[in-house]
Each structure stands twice: as C-alpha cells, then as structure tokens.
Chains A and B, each alone.
Chain A
C-alpha cells in the first residue's frame, strides 16, 4: 500500500507492523509525533500491545529493559536530551543482552538550547554497545525498524534507528507500506528469551568478578562482530520478501571516481543531486553513504574507497577536541590500507541549517583543488 507519511509516522507504522507488545515512551521534540501516533493506534485498537506513558526517558528505557527480560517485544523513541538522560540505561540494555529497538530522531544537545538536527546526540552514545543505523529517509526508516527487530532478536543486541530531526522526521513523502502478512512471515513472534521464569529462578544482572566481567564483555564484542553477517542476511531476506534492501554502506559511482563524498542521513539525498550535477560537468566524483555506524562497516568502506585518492566527509555533528565523528571513524577504518587516500573533513548543517546541493558541489571542487593535508575540519556555513 502507498501512503503519504512523515518519517516519524513511518516509524510508528513499522512499530505497528512489527507487532510490538510494549511501548514505553516520553515526549521530546522532534520525536514526539512517534509517541502521539502510537497512542492514536492504541486508542483505535490497531496496536498489538500496550503503552506505558513514562515519567522520563530514563524510566522508559528501564521499563523496556525489564519488560524485554520478561520476554516481550518492546519499543521506545527519543531525541537529544532524552537520549542523554537515557545514557546509563543504554549501557544497561546492551549488557543485559535485550533485543530493544529504539528510534532516535537527531537533535542538538544543549547548551546552547536549540531544536534542529545534529547527530552528536546519537553519535555520543557510540560506546554503549548498541547497533546504530542512520537512515536517509522515511521509507528506509520504516523498512529498517522491521529489519531491526529481526537483527536484535537474532543477536540479542539492542538497535538504534536514527533519522534527522525535521528533515526526515517531519517531511511527508509517499511511502510503500508492506502488507501485514509479509511482515508476519518475515518477523516471527515469541523468540525473545523469558529470563524471569518462576520455575527457573535466576538473578538477572548480578554482581560479577573481574574475570567474569571480562568474559561477558568479550562475548558481547564477539557477538557484535558476528552481527555483521546477521545484518546482511536479514536485509537479503527482507529484500526477497518485501522488495527493498539497504547495505551497511551504499557506494554510488565510486568505481571510476577520483574523489568520493561521504555522507550519512538525509544529507545523502542532497548529495545524490550534487553528484548528478558534478558528473554532468565532467567531474569524476562518487558518493558513499554510510548507514551502519555500529558495527562500523570497516571492510565495506575499505572496499569502496581503496582506489580513491581524495575523500570529503560531511559531518552534521562535531566532536569537540577532534573533528567530525564519521570522519574520525572513516580515517581509522582506512588506516590499514597500503595506499591511504587523503581525507578532508567538513562540518556542515549543524542544528539543521541547510546543506544545499551547491554547498556539496563546492566542497567536492575545493577538495579536488586542495593538495594540503588538512589537520582540522573545515566549517561550512551558508553566506
């Protein structure tokens, strides 16, 4: 079925299709329409589960972890300060090995107070042990939420689905909504372990010694590594059943490219326009969209960029004291290459400021003409 939906409503639709049993939520801009839409679905009897209207994001994640441990499929969504407040519980979730799926709608983290999109809220949760998938648009978000439940339940690791605040969360586009039967066939119910069994009592989340702690951490690390294959398998199956798929990265015109523009999230759509324009002017330019941030697609990135001499990374985020976070991760992934490309980082679009195709074209041309190794990121703003 085709329908006009915002990115937020697309995610709510995916939650309904995934037959989520418990949604624990708390309002925060720009995520709130997800919460509202699911409330509406619950009141209309369209939701397979129950909602908990929480007193904070911290409690929302806490309720999700506890309920998932008791064996039900759970969902929550948040942004910005709400995600920052959840931080403690994000570690708790991955350590508890609960298959939670959460939508994160990027927004700046105060101070200064503001509302626009900035990936620093989610990227600063990098080390919490969650998978992170940055989606380009509402369609991809819808499909990825459904995939995420299968990935999370196979790997017992939690997954964040990330979209840009307002650009993706509020823009309305025509989307394909898979039918319930296809999703049911793809996503079976009842496979979440029930760890709170009165007939097999155990202490969940107990205190461990140093040796056990290291073993638990090592196992979680190994399982995240194995998740790379699971992510691909699940995507392949989804593509076969539903007809759409996405890789952890998407290379466009990289085969003959002298320079590749690297993007994530909604800026990728703009970059596709810039790419066509630059190609028509004769520039040998390619595009690499990075969707998976954790686990980071090291091999895919190396494969796509090993023959390229120059790379421009556009980051809608900033790590104070270093550089853009995708740029930093990309450099680390490329370090083992024998012939390392020159990577230049650009900071653009902070707080949802516009990143136009012209700005991206300018970034590509400037990078092509620049033979200097830039130590620091280049800040790009509209004049």
Chain B
C-alpha cells in the first residue's frame, strides 16, 4: 500500500527524477527513497550537500554519481556550515533561483553535526536541511546514536539502548527558524508538500524524516514503506510542522494503532518484553498529548 502511494505521488508531481537507477544503497533503503522524493520535489535547480553517511553511499564512487544535481561531499560534522557556505556564495553571485539542500543522517545531525546546524540555524542561513534519521550509525555498521530509541538493539547496545531518543524537533524549534517539519516516505504526498513549502520559505528550514533501514532494523526489505507508515499511524513519529519555532500544526491525523504493530515487525526490538512495549506505548501517548497541547491556539 505504502509503495503504491509513493509511486503515484511521484507521477503526480510532474518533476523529473534527480536520482537515477542503479544507485549504491542497500535494497529497501529508506534514505534513497526519501532523497528521491525530496530531490524530485525540489527539482533540477538544486545543489545538495551530503556528509559521510548512507546518503553518500547512495551516490556511488568516483567517477560516477547517481544524482542529476551537483553534490558537495562535506566533512561529517559540518553539513550545515557547508550548505550555509554554498548558500551565501550563491547569494553573493545573485543566483537566487537555486535551492541548497543538506542531507545528513541522525548521527550527522543529532550528535556530531548539532553544533554546526545550531550555528547555521541561528544565522538563519538560506538552505533546507533534511535529516535522514534511520536511528543509528548505519553506514558504519549499526552503532547507536542519540537518535536510537530506548531498548533498541545495535552492535554497540547489544542489550538494548538505555535512555530515550533525543527530541530533536524541540531543539530545532528553540532556534525559531521559519520552517520545521517531520515527514515520512510512508506518507509521500505529505512529504512532498512539506518540501515544497520549505522551498518557498527563506532562511534555515529543517525537515526531520524517519528513514527505515531494513539492514539495521533487522527486517525484510519489503517492509520499508510499511514500517514508515506504521511509525506515523502508531504515533511513534507523528507528522507535523512548526512555523517560526512556535506555531505547531499536525498535518496528518493518525490512526493511533498500537505501538506493538510497529515494534514487532522489527528484529531490533526482538528481545523486548510486553512490559517494555507497554512502557513505549505510555511514552508515545504522553508525547502525543504534549504535541496536541502545543497546537492549541495555533492558527
């Protein structure tokens, strides 16, 4: 179901593909699907920045590239500063019709890249930052990051990670940037609309995408779209946007399916007890109530 919607959304957009066939990602890669949709929405007049990450692997190796837009491969911790440098260079040259987009993973955003992103957001440098969150250092072989949820197995948290996932959207909101949103390939039309809204705004714009990783999440390749959709419909990853850091709007009313439906299709949660699932459910419910409360009074 999810993949059909994704293909339909792609056709409806009428924009050319900017990611070619034959890229280097693992089968079922949520990162590749997200980049494809984002770049298709942004169009040809785009320059992308990619730090070392799964996103860089998608492109392949010299002298090939699977992208139709110029890519600047930045250092790991400065996707944002690099995008900011390019955005300013374009502005100086009067090239105001080119969008700059940074694609960084959760490690490159939540952990090592947070300083650079915070600096760029504070200056309100003019680019779109897309966090491709697959909830661990997948490119180096499934090590935990601060985006890895509690209880999740990774090679560096063999007994399940202690501590909850960092609430990154709150950190971003605190920077009062013009536009921030969550988006998912499970809901491609919503994702495309958000990329388009982001593209029309000026300043630092942030889109947090959850990008399921069959390799790291220990699930079948065919479950990428389904797991992305379930993350949204169970409220694990609600879809919303934040304007100027203060105006919250939920963009998709979730079905509120039990968290168990999302958790039990992933091998990385295989060891979790019923009590563990109940605890996640409680936390997810609390987070949702808190999000709904933030939307009150926002037009």
Contact = CB atoms under 8 A, between A and B. Distances in A.
A206 B60 CA distance: 8
Contacts of B89: 21-22, 66-68, 70-72
B68 A59 contact: no
Contact of A62 (B68, B82, B91, B98): B82
Interface string B8-38: 0000000000000000000000000000000
A49 B91 CA distance: 11
B119 A56 contact: yes
A203 B59 contact: yes
Given A63-B88, A72-B92, A55 B116 contact: yes
A64 B116 contact: no
Contacts of A21: 89, 92
A201 B119 contact: no
A211 to B, nearest CB: 11
Given A207-B62, A209-B62, A63 B82 contact: yes
Contacts of B91: 50
Interface of A is mostly: mixed
Interface residues of A, number: 42
A92 interface: yes
Interface stretch (B69-77, B174-182, B200-208): B69-77
A201 B86 contact: no
B115 A56 contact: yes
A54 B123 CA distance: 9
Contact of A52 (B44, B61, B88, B115): B88
15 contacts: A22-B85, A58-B78, A59-B81, A59-B116, A62-B81, A66-B89, A67-B88, A68-B89, A72-B89, A72-B93, A203-B65, A203-B71, A206-B60, A206-B71, A207-B56
Interface of B: 44-47, 49, 56, 59-63, 65, 67-75, 77-78, 81-86, 88-93, 98, 115-116, 118-119, 122-123, 125
Interface of A: 21-22, 24, 49-50, 52-56, 58-60, 62-72, 88-89, 92, 195-198, 200-209, 212
Interface pairs A-B: 3 shortest CB-CB = A55-B119, A66-B85, A63-B85
